[in-house]
Structure 1
Amino acid sequence: MVTTSRSSGLPRAVRCALVLLGTALLGGCPSLPHKEPPRVYQNENFQADETFSRLFDAPAANTCEAARRALLSQGYVLAMTKPDALQATKNFQPEGSVHVQISFNVMCLPEGRAGQISTAYVNAIQDRYTVKKSSNSASLGVSAIGSLSIPLSSNEESLIKVGSETIPAGPFYDRFFVLMGRYLREQSQIE
């Protein structure tokens, strides 16, 4: 027979419950339900009508040049340019402590044997940031004078990424492809 001490002042049932609770917490809470992270890939349908591409009646280099001009005309900053690919970014501040950056990626590939038509593959990623304020403080002790401490403090702000997502296919890309088409038409009139 096991005897217990009554020195803790807690009833035996409460002590047993605390021991079981502690064991469950240490054991990773296998008996408690936990939420699985969302599996976003299950919503990926790979449907032909939801494309991030458009076919253009121009060589790949001309198509990417039109994309470059379209992005520059809207205030994007080019990060990388090649004859058949480019990357560009643009920053926004919709609220005081919220910053958003859109990164565009464009790849232009020739279609057919003559290479006189091409497909532009485009995706844009939206990164969301928030301002995090931190305060650093320190004391300066001067031993010759005694225990004099002068507080030194500084406030720093930094941007912390809080989200990132690919902008879904739809009107955003349609507007971009229409602007690309306009620049392609202007290029063909000059040549």
Structure 2
Amino acid sequence: MPRICTLLLAPLLAALLAGCSALPSLPEKPPKAVYQGEKFTAEETFSRLFDANVDDTCEAARRALLSQGYVISKAGGGMVQGAKRFQPEGEVHVEIAFNVVCVGEGAKQQVATAYVSALQDRYVIKKSSQAASLGVSALGSISVPLSSTQDSMVKVASETIPAGGFYDRFFTLMQRMLRESAADR
């Protein structure tokens, strides 16, 4: 009798375990929305107050970017835009685009706040090939294969560089540019 129970119990237990694995799983908690991570705290800012007017502050930002190899696409009207491209790996390209807005503060506008944000775009090379054949009916069934490959850059990621050391280094360089500019006068 115990042997018969064992023979019947084993398939029954296997069927029970298989049935349990087929049960629907509990719904997962949905991922947190990106905007939920925005802190809007005074400690993490993308701005710095400078003891200079708007024009001098933006000029310091322009010179800071130029000194680091950024190509300036716009400068003037209280705004500076520049970009720099990198190739950290063989088929990976990264571009950092800077946006600086200078705003005067106070009644006489003798100081200015520089608001800075940098956007990092990441690209990869996508290879695609196309093939075609050419048939000449007068000569018979001769086909000459024609093929070409084409590489294109595809954006795979884009994000604003978070506040922190990256911007602190930029603001420090801007401050140095302001000091050097004041010393030249």
Cα distance in 2 between the residues matched to 1:43 and 1:176: 24
Unaligned runs of 5+ in 1: 1-31
TM-score w.r.t. length of structure 1: 0.80
Query: 1:68-107, aligned counterparts within 5 Å?
Result: 68-107=62-101
Say whether 1:167 aligns with 2:175.
no
Cα distance in 1 between the residues matched to 2:152 and 2:55: 40
Determine which of 141, 149, 152 is the counterpart of 1:147.
141
Query: 1:51-130, aligned counterparts within 5 Å?
Result: 51-130=45-124
Matched with 1:180 is 174
Instruction: Tell me the amino acid that sits aligned with residue 173 of structure 1.
Output: Y
TM-score w.r.t. length of structure 2: 0.83
Task: Note the C-alpha offset of 1:38.
Answer: 4.9
* Count of aligned residue pairs for this structure pair: 161
Cα distance in 2 between the residues matched to 1:37 and 1:65: 43
The ranges of structure 1 where at least 4 consecutive aligned residues each deviate by more than 4 angstroms after the TM superposition are: 32-38
Matched with 2:40 is 46
Identity across aligned pairs (percent)? Answer: 63
Instruction: Tell me the amino acid that sits aligned with residue 161 of structure 1.
Output: K
- Aligned partners of 1:134 and 1:156 also within 8 Å: yes
Task: Note the C-alpha offset of 1:151.
Answer: 0.6
Task: State the Cα RMSD in Å.
Answer: 1.7
Cα distance in 2 between the residues matched to 1:35 and 1:132: 35
Q: Secondary structure at the match of 1:159?
A: strand
Task: Note the C-alpha offset of 1:146.
Answer: 1.5
Task: Note the C-alpha offset of 1:83.
Answer: 3.6
- Aligned partners of 1:52 and 1:123 also within 8 Å: yes
Cα distance in 2 between the residues matched to 1:61 and 1:166: 25
Instruction: Tell me the amino acid that sits aligned with residue 129 of structure 2.
Output: S
Name whichever structure is richer in helix by fraction. Answer: 2
Determine which of 135, 142, 147 is the counterpart of 2:129.
135
Per-residue CA shift, 1:92-146, capped at 9, x if unaligned? 0000000000000000000001100000000000000000001111111111112
Unaligned runs of 5+ in 2: 1-25
Report which stretch shifted further, 78-87 or 155-164.
78-87
Instruction: Tell me the amino acid that sits aligned with residue 172 of structure 1.
Output: F
